[in-house]
Amino acid sequence: MVYKCKGCGGNVVYSPKVGRMVCESCGTEDNEEILKTEDAFKCPSCGSSIEVGEYDSSCKCEACGAPIILDPRIEYPYGPDLALPFMVDKYDAIEALRAYAKDKLFIPGNFINAHMEDKLEGIYVPFWLYDFDTDVHYNAIGVKIRTWTSGDTEYTETSKYAVARELEIDYSGYPADASIKMPDDMMDLVEPYDYGRMGKFDSRLLSGFSAERYNFDPNQLEPRVKARMAKDTDAWINSTISGYNHMEGVQKHVNDQRKATNFALLPVWDYKYHYKGKEYHFYLNGQSGKIVGKSPVSPSRVVGLTATLFATLAIFIQGLEQLLEML
């Protein structure tokens, strides 16, 4: 389907800036109607067939540029429970990338260029959000060692304590991206999202952005979330234990009970940057603007800046020497 302007018939897209549906042609807000075709994979605007990947649920018609939403991929069983709207628009994203590049010494000069607009894709990435009740039973022997010297003798006192802890941790909304094309480590880094701004899924949010249905079901991703959670659980246990040099005979029982899973769409800007025949992806949190990505390195910059720094330091240090010698 496509959202069309009731006034002028133009394409209507979701605007992160105003938080409403805006007609791309006349700028009228919240004045849209749905245009549908029998075949969801035919553009309702121009009739050409939509070529999409297996998981895409929202895209642009390649023929006429209409913002297409593929109904079968946002309906049962793929209907998202929740969605967090984009709050950073394309121009904010470009500004954020500009600021980001300023801090990176070796990033190639054309990282910021005139074609960034075309290389930025706003994607609603499918995430599973897990709620877990975690019970922890922890028992260990805590060892305290104290040493002191008196005269020519060094004393070492070793004290042992039975350490027992029971914790209850309510994990809520623990995310794991359910998209094959988004790298897991990058999606983990782009967190966190403020779920306070998240609402029930509304298909209008997708208009003008890319989106995917989930590529994995919650059971497939559970081990990933549990592994991350286990680290957090250890950190919680450690935060309750202090004053010991080390622990012995640790017995730890962790019981994670999955309470709920929600399918949510979270906003990510994907900036594709080509450098020396390779494609680099930078991901922006569509809510906070946080940027993650492995920067390419410009060898000429590395050499040039290292030489500049070296020469400057040499002049400075030798100048200091000259001065100190004189004073």
Partner 1 sequence: MAKFRKFIIIMLIIGAVFWGISIALRGVSVGTVSDRNNDVYTDESRILFIEADADEVRSINPEYQLRDVSTLLSATEKEELQTYIEKCEAKIGCDIFLIIGNSPYFTKTNDNDFDKQATWIENWVKENKPGWDQPDGNVVVYFDNWSAYSGDSHCYLYPFGKYADKLPAHERESIIDSVNEDVNDDPAGAYKRMARKVTLKMIGMGMIGAYWPIGISIAIALIIAIIFMIVQLCVNAGKVTVDKATYVKGGKAKVKLSHDTFISKHTTSRHIERSSGGGGGGGGGHGGSGGSH
Binding positions for Zn ion, rule: CB under 5 A: 5, 7-8, 10, 23, 25-26, 28, 43, 45-46, 61, 63-64, 66
CB-count exposure of residue 282 (10 Å: 0-12, 13-18, 19+): buried
Segment interacting with partner 1, rule: CB under 8 A, options 14-22, 141-149, 201-209, 214-222? 141-149
Nearer to partner 1, 227 or 327 (CB): 327
Residue partners of 141: CB distance under 8 A and separation at least 6: 160, 161, 162, 163, 247, 248, 249
As given in the structure block, the two tokens for residue 217 are 């079901």
Segment interacting with partner 1, rule: CB under 8 A, options 35-43, 49-57, 115-123, 172-180? 172-180
**Cα end-to-end span (Å), the chain:** 81
262 binds partner 1 (CB under 8 A): no
Residue 302 partner contact from partner 1, Zn ion, none using kind-dependent CB cut-offs of 5 to 8 Å: partner 1
* Contact set for partner 1, span 280-309 (CB under 8 A): 290-295, 297, 302, 305-309
For the chain, helix, strand, coil in percent to 5 are 25, 40, 35
Residue partners of 269: CB distance under 8 A and separation at least 6: 88, 90, 93, 120, 121, 122, 123, 283, 284, 286
Binder of partner 1 out of 34, 169, 247, 254 (CB under 8 A): 169
* Minimum separation from the CB atom of position 326 to partner 1 (A): 4
Nearer to Zn ion, 7 or 173 (CB): 7
* Contact set for partner 1, span 44-83 (CB under 8 A): none
Residue 23 partner contact from Zn ion, partner 1, none using kind-dependent CB cut-offs of 5 to 8 Å: Zn ion
186 binds partner 1 (CB under 8 A): yes
What span, in angstroms and rounded, lies between the C-alpha atoms of 76 and 115?
38
